Structure 1
């Protein structure tokens, strides 16, 4: 299984919906959100 690690940063005032969740559902990707 291939692994890919990258960082996504969004300005908080621009995001109105859960982007990470939607990406995971649409592309069947397992995400691990770290803060």
Structure 2
């Protein structure tokens, strides 16, 4: 049971980092786009 909780936690963190990275990339691209303007 404990291992299940741990794995689910890591999976959640993986998803979170994926989403966070995507948002960061979007914001970064926007910033560079504004700079180029």
TM-score, with normalisation over the residues of structure 1? 0.31
Is the helix fraction higher in 1 or 2? 2
Higher relative contact order (CA closer than 8 Å, sequence separation 6+): 1
TM-score, with normalisation over the residues of structure 2? 0.30
